[in-house]
Amino acid sequence: MLKVGVYGFIRFVLDLSGQVYWQWGVAVLAIGSVSALMGVLYALMQHDLKRLLAYHSVENLGIVFIGLGLALIFLGTGHESLGALALVAALYHTINHALFKGLLFLGAGAILHSTHERDLEQMGGLLRRMPWTGLFFLVGCISISALPPFNGFVSEWLTFQAALQAWQLESGVLRTLIPIASAVLALTGALAAACFVKVYGVAFLGQARSRHVRRARPVPLGMRAAQGLLAALCLVLGVLPTWVIGAIDAVPRQLLGAGLPHATAHGWLWLTPVSAQTASYSAPLVVVLLALLAALALWSLRRGAVRRVRRCDAWDCGFAPPTPRMQYTATAFAQPIRQVFGLLFNIEESVGRREDGTLRYQINIGDRAWGFFYTPVMRAVESASRRVVRLQSGNVRVYLGWTLATLVVLLWIIS
């Protein structure tokens, strides 16, 4: 459903509206940058797994509209080939988001099916209990964090490559705004990686924090197969991007009359969005390098080059053994970032004592945007609805009177 909005925007702005103005691109670029940054910040504050993933949808749609904003700026200033590059980057990220976000939501559904939990603070140790879900969820985390060799890296790298061509613009204002948006995009990527380190570490590593999680079992084969299919597609679209870009390139050629002449010029091995002299990326070579490093590490372990670690109980200074309560929580993980960006949230913290004498820390993080934008609209709609309800008197003559008045007004407008 999110992609329907992207399709409608592209269809209206690039196909039906006619001439494109660069001022539109500045507005879209600004809105996309704010959406990406705010989406990932609000995601970092969440410990409900599905709500966290929903806020990341806001972030990734912001990244898509950063690409669309760059496309409008380049097209409005007469740089059709650069506009085509930015449009391809936006479309590629649209496809990638559908894949890795679908994978992550299926993983969240599998966790909910097996543990009946959505709260990260109640999870832990799921990798031992649900190994396949843990593996596929890790692929989704790496993809959405834009790390090679998975698909999220390619589309964000293309967006950066489009933004780095801002030096070709004549306007000094645009040459200043686009690097700022690029910096926001880079910050968004770093925060997204931190968020999914939190998610994976708290949910799948460590010890179980609740009885439901300790009793978790692997999900049925059908659920694992669906996750495996999307994980494989995330890898394929990351390793062989030239094939996908070759298909996407038909869209800007049809809408704009220009495409990417150099992107697939060197075959499936190298992706060159602008030219080979500007920047190139070879995902297959990255995969080969990672495989060689993994093979070297395994060979070193087998030959004894790396000293084997002897496992035993850690010295705990005479205290009780570690318990799940001693683990880092999702709230604690996000605390440094919450301190830096605290003005963006409504934060309520309280410390109290339970009946058994232990301390209880509670924090509620609210969305300021909800109070600024959505609550006034909701109240206005609710107030208008109360007034409209008064028209329902139950008297047929009153309804006929309103119908007659409406017809008179419409006839007056038409005439």
Q: What is the pLDDT of residues 61-70, one digit of tens each?
A: 999 999 999 9
Quick one: 132 exposed, middle or buried, by C-beta within 10 A (0-12, 13-18, 19+)?
A: middle
Give the pLDDT band (50/70/90) at residue 316.
low
Question: Which residues sit opposite 366 in a β-bridge?
Answer: 346
Spell out the residues 6+ positions from residue 336 whose beta carbon is closer than 8 angstroms to its own.
none
SS3 sequence of 325-383: HHCCCHHHHCHHHHHHCHHHEEEEEEEEECCCCCEEEEEEEEEHHHHHHHHHHHHHHHH
Report the pLDDT averaged over residues 33-55: 92
Please check the confidence at residue 109 and state whether its pLDDT lies above 70: yes
Encode 202-218: b = buried (16+ Cβ within 10 Å), e = exposed.
bbbbbebbbeebeebee
Q: Beta strand pairing status for 359-367 and 345-353?
A: antiparallel
Angle between helices 221-239 and 151-163 (to 10 degrees): 30
Summarize pLDDT for 59-103 with one digit per residue, the tens: 999 999 999 999 999 998 888 888 999 999 999 999 999 999 999
223: Cβ contacts below 8 Å, ≥ 6 apart = 106, 109, 110, 113
* 371-381 pLDDT per residue, tens: 788 889 999 99
Which residues are bridge partners to 220 per DSSP? Answer: none
* pLDDT recorded at residue 137: 95
Q: How buried is residue 317: exposed, middle or buried, by Cβ count under 10 Å (0-12/13-18/19+)?
A: exposed
**Cis preceding linkage at 149, omega within 30:** yes
pTM: 0.84
- Distances in Å between the Cα of 290 and the Cα atoms of 142, 228, 314, 392 are 14, 21, 33, 70
Burial of 309 (0-12, 13-18, 19+ CB in 10 A): exposed
Q: How far apart are CA 40 and CA 56, in angstroms?
A: 6
d(CA 107, CA 91) in angstroms, rounded, equals 24
- Quote the tokens at residue 287: 């995969």
Residue 304, pLDDT score: 64
